[in-house]
Amino acid sequence: MAAGLASSLHAAPKVEDSIAQRVQACTVCHGPQGRAASDGYYPRIAGKPAGYLYNQLRNFREGRRQYALMTHLLDPLSDEYLHEIANYFATLDLPYPAQRPAAPNAGAQLQRGQELVMRGDAQRKIPACIQCHGAALTGVQPAIPGLLGVPRDYINAQLGSWQNGNRQAKSPDCMATIAQRLQPEDIAAVAQWISAQPVPEHAKPVATLPGRLPLPCGGVTP
């Protein structure tokens, strides 16, 4: 009995060796199955295009995006492993939570946000969001993310990060160029309108762009 007890105490617990098990470290911040954290700070990664997720993992690892925790986690990982992580989360088809309604007095701001998202501002050389992120704003394969289902505060923060250089992408960095042309009230309007839009059931990135990209974008196949 003593020998058996000693053997059981020293036996290593069996852990499933699968990508689903290994990426549980990601879900501590990004929510169960990568559905997003409830605080609106850590974004949804489930269902995003694999090329986009891979690019962001590399951007964190190589210093184009600034968040020390992500950098430390990714620094020892190979490109092959980053592809495996990206492909896993890209295949998850999970429902989105209901969007929070906009404030009752946000009518003018919502109208301005819709104008910028759907038509842009040609005079200031600001392209419409739908020119890159798809006509339904659900993203485009293989590397452009959807915008629907993204919290208002996260959109505000990321556009601000592009403006101040804390977030970067491969050159040419089209989003940094666009962000520099936006005024604070433009960012608030776009974030307000997008975050108030419902996400269609089983929303997925579309296969092709609706037309030519308005600007050259590093990491995106034209």
Asked if residues 165 and 65 have their Cβ atoms less than 8 Å apart, the reply is no
Are residues 147 and 88 located together in one domain of the fold? no
Mean pLDDT for 126-134 is 96
Please give the residue range of the domain that contains residue 17. 12-95
Give the CB-side neighbour count of residue 163, counting CA atoms within 13 A.
14
SS (H, E, C) the chain: CHHHHHHHHHCCCCCCCCHHHHCHHHHHHHCHHHCCCCCCCCCCCCCCCHHHHHHHHHHHHCCCECCHHHHHHHCCCCHHHHHHHHHHHHCCCCCCCCCCCCCCCCHHHHHHHHHHHHHCEHHHCECCCHHHHCCCCCCECCCECCCCCCCHHHHHHHHHHHHHCCECCCCCCHHHHHHHCCCHHHHHHHHHHHHCCCCCCCCCCECCCCCCCCCCCCCCCC
Predicted confidence (pLDDT) at residue 112 exceeds the cutoff of 80 = yes
Predicted confidence (pLDDT) at residue 180 exceeds the cutoff of 70 = yes
Are residues 212 and 122 located together in one domain of the fold? yes
In a domain, 3, yes or no: no
Q: Please name which of 56, 60, 89, 90 lies closest in space to residue 75, comparing C-alpha atoms.
A: 60
pLDDT bin (cut points 50, 70, 90) of residue 17 is: confident
In a domain, 58, yes or no: yes
Are residues 119 and 201 located together in one domain of the fold? yes
Q: 36-90: per-residue pLDDT in tens? A: 888 878 999 999 999 999 999 999 999 999 999 999 999 999 999 999 999 999 9
Highest mean pLDDT among 22-36, 76-90, 104-118: 76-90
Are residues 85 and 112 located together in one domain of the fold? no
Mean pLDDT for 104-119 is 93
Are residues 141 and 120 located together in one domain of the fold? yes
Q: First vs last Cα of the chain: how many Å apart?
A: 69
Instruction: Report the CATH number that the domain containing residue 83 is assigned in CATH.
Output: 1.10.760.10
Are residues 81 and 173 located together in one domain of the fold? no
Predicted confidence (pLDDT) at residue 3 exceeds the cutoff of 70 = no
Per-residue confidence (pLDDT) for residue 76, from 0 to 100: 95
Structure tokens at 11: 């036996």
- Residue 126, φ and ψ in degrees, nearest 5: -105, 110
Per-residue confidence (pLDDT) for residue 221, from 0 to 100: 65
From CA 174, how far away is CA 190, in angstroms rounded? 17
Among candidate residues 62, 95, 128, the one where a domain is terminated: 95
Per-residue confidence (pLDDT) for residue 8, from 0 to 100: 56
pLDDT bin (cut points 50, 70, 90) of residue 196 is: very high
Are residues 129 and 176 located together in one domain of the fold? yes
